[in-house]
Every structure is written in C-alpha cells, then in structure tokens.
Amino acid sequence: MHDLPRQWRRDEFVISTDRAKLDIDLVHAYLASSYWASGMPRSTLERAVENSLTFGIYRDDEQVGFARVIADLATYAYLSDVFVVDAFRGRGLSKWLMECILAHPDLQGLRRFALFTRDAQGLYERYGFGPARGKSTYLERWEPNVYATTSR
C-alpha cells in the first residue's frame, strides 16, 4: 500500500498515515510486550508496516499512538495493533483515531471491516463493530506461539 500520506489535526495532536514518521522502536516495544503480539520480531513488524495502511498519533515529534489496517481497499479491511501509550490515555485519542481511520477515503464502501479485541469492545461498538452476524462463516488458522519460534 503506497497511499499518499494523509493528516488530521486536533489541538496539539496530529494523526498521520506517513510511514516515514513512525517511531518503529516505540511501536515494536509496545507490540512485542502486548497480549496480542507478544514477542513479535522487529523484522515482522517492519514487513507488516510496509504492507499496511498505518496511522500514527503524534504530539510534536513524539509518537503517542498507532494503528494499522490490512486491506484490499475495495471490499475488506482488518484493523490491528491499535494502541495509545499509557501517558496519553484518557484524552479521547483512541476515539479520534477510530474516526480518522473510518473517514479515510481508501476505506470507504467496504463490505467487511473486521477486528479482534479482548478488552476494548466498548470503544469499537460505538463505531458499528459487533459480533459476526448470522450463522458464522468465520474460520481461522491460529498460531498463537509463532513469535516464540521465530528468530528476532
């Protein structure tokens, strides 16, 4: 995905899709210690970022949040790796991040926009996300320990 970078401003914060602005060290440190991407090698993150639509939240030059969307930009998108660093939580940044993601022009008209969360259902429900509808057709091949066997 090589979209032209987009940017949104609110008070002293900026959300940008410019991959060049990302603090990969910060993103990697956060994700590698998260419950969903524990132990993720940096090289895996770098490949994921290169092949995703990324959203960074910044105050001045300091990155304070992140999300990425894996998508074909026509029918399907998957939201992943969403976080706001602890010191900046409680300021509405995750809500604003979701508003910017859902407003992104390349993510309009999708048939399905998916995500997984263990602890943030309330955030995502306010933006129309919910359990799969109807008889489930969802299948997955899950490798929960893939990073434990991957070289870092």
57: left (phi over 0), alpha (psi -120 to 50) or beta: beta
Please tell me the distance from the alpha carbon of residue 58 to that of residue 27, in angstroms, as a whole number: 12
| Paired tokens of 63 | 């990155």
| Residue 97: CB atoms within 10 Å | 23
Which pLDDT band, with edges at 50, 70 and 90, does 151 fall under? low
For the domain made up of 7-148, give the CATH fold: Aminopeptidase (3.40.630)
Cβ atoms of 3 and 106 closer than 8 Å:
yes
The 10s digit of each residue's pLDDT in 100-140 is 999 999 999 999 999 988 888 878 888 778 887 777 777 77
